[in-house]
Amino acid sequence: MLQILLFLAVFIAIIFPMGKYLYHIAVNKRTFADPVFDRVDNAVYRVCGIDKKEMNWKQYALAMLATNAMMVLIGYLLLRLQGLLFLNPNGIGAMEPTLSFNTIISFMTNTNLQHYSGESGLTYLSQMAVIIFMMFTSAATGFSVAIAAVRGLAGQTKTMGNFYADLVRITTRVLLPLSLLIGLVLVSQGVAQNLSPNVTVQTMEGKYQDIAMGPMAALESIKHLGTNGGGFLGANASAPFENPNVLTNMIEMLSMMILPGACVVMFGLMVRNRTKDSEKSQEKKGLLGSEAKPLFAVMFIIFVVGLAACFAAEQAGNPLLEQAGLSQGMGSMEGKEMRFGIAQSSLFSTVTTCFTTGSVNNMHDTLTPLGGMVALINMLLNLVFGGKGVGLLNMILYVILTVFICGLMVGRTPEYLAKKIEGQEMKLTALGIIIHPLLILTFSALAIAVPAGLAGITNPGHHGLTQVLYEYASSAANNGSGFEGLADNTYFWNITTGLAMFFGRYLSIIISLAIASSLMLKQPVSESIGTLRTDTGTFTVSLLMVVLIIAALTFFPALVLGPIAEHMTLWS
């Protein structure tokens, strides 16, 4: 418990300076690194012919979609032709068409769902030119959209900024330097980083085994920092060459958490500075900003409660194994690494699903029913910090909904950030909230209704349903982790999860930009006695209850049929 508490304290400590740094990047304020990065950015602008003129939300969204589409096309061709290209010392062939479609959509949408095993499915060229490249660009795309949306909510300008400039600045000033630093630390701890072919060694039993080589540290650093997920190896972050010890485990978890947490701090600073108060009076509002406090509090409460539930469930062990005479004093260690144990495994599972990363240091398919349900709920909610600004934008949708509901209940004017919440914003907000469960539940129903979907379910009964729910929740939430018992590399699963990833990513982005633009273009209203304040403890509780009630009404029946029924059967 002490290591978990210390870990959370470190997380809280580092997100404030990082959030302030992101704020300076978002509003083009001076930073300590400008003398170096200004030259790098200007060189990129000249080479790419980037015009940094301001964009409205439609232009911003179109630029984002066009850029992503071009990268998808090039990446798909590389995967299909990888067997003919260079940097292929292990002789890996071309990837199958539907698997190529699933993989390229997965990494472009920052999901990183893998229906293949990295060490046997990709060449080194594909790992670097497709996978690692898209880990940078997909993360930068998400953070750019989050920054643009917050600009609109802050209401300081009448435009959303420039997508290309945001993409470059996030990549050069945040992702590249931090991933380089993290990568060097991982290499110092034993994470592999080379272009050597696989090594065949003789084991102590006299057998022969292939040991995978490759640029693992480069992938590990950006996969966690950009909340990408996936893995160079099929065993992901449970493999010693990706995650050798407890120190690297901590570093990889903090890498997942730092930027999503900093985004909330950045939001508070940008919204706080929409007023014309003096710098001194704004500092009195705290490091987080009054409007960001309810958001952070609700996210942190759900995260901590989920962590406690997952830890308790895994520590309780498996009662059937206890009855069979196998001690469960260490907890449920099935699918977990001895070097991490229950505490580090439970913490990693909660972090990777709250921050929508998808990296795993234990097999989620072997979690206890309640432990697996915590990971599943985190993705069903899709607003507990989230990755690349996703959690922040989704939480803002619930904030707008809470403002509207509370305003109706107490007769107050529904306003948020000094802008009236009217019909257009509420229609878009309702649509943004509905899309996520619609994708998950529709595709899950399809999977258990057609033979092609049923063929992939390897566990009967309640656990099999949980496998299906988890796969589509992970896809729609752009998480990428999975219940690995699912036989998912088929035409059906590759295509349906690809569609869930695509719509789950881009529909929510477009809706968030539209809402931010709608509020940005409205005239601010003065605060009055009839204004509902959104920076109080009462509003924080209201926001938490709205999130839980909406989630319960939407997903509780499916959870009852899946993990809850499995838990009751196991402990009956």
Q: What pLDDT does residue 41 have?
A: 93
Q: What pLDDT does residue 325 have?
A: 84
pLDDT in tens, 169-209: 999 999 999 999 999 999 999 999 999 999 999 989 999 99
Residue where the block lists tokens 């449970």: 238
Q: What pLDDT does residue 45 have?
A: 94
Q: Give the torsion through C-alpha atoms of 549, 550, 551, 553, to 10 deg.
A: 80
Distance between CA atoms of 294 and 298, rounded to whole angstroms?
Answer: 6
Q: What pLDDT does residue 104 have?
A: 95
List of the chain residues with pLDDT < 70: 273-287
pLDDT in tens, 406-450: 988 888 778 899 899 999 999 999 999 999 999 999 999 999 999
Task: Return the CA Rg of the chain.
Answer: 23
Amino acid making up residue 397? L
SS3 content of the chain, % helix, strand, coil (to 5): 65, 5, 30
Q: What is the 3-state secondary structure (H, E, C) of 230-282?
A: CCCCCCHHHCCCCCCCHHHHHHHHHHHHHHHHHHHHHHHHHHHCCCCCCHHHH
Q: What pLDDT does residue 278 have?
A: 42
Q: What pLDDT does residue 140 have?
A: 95
Distance between CA atoms of 466 and 444, rounded to whole angstroms?
Answer: 10
Distance between CA atoms of 453 and 471, rounded to whole angstroms?
Answer: 12
> Do 115 and 222 contact (CB within 8 A), yes or no?
no
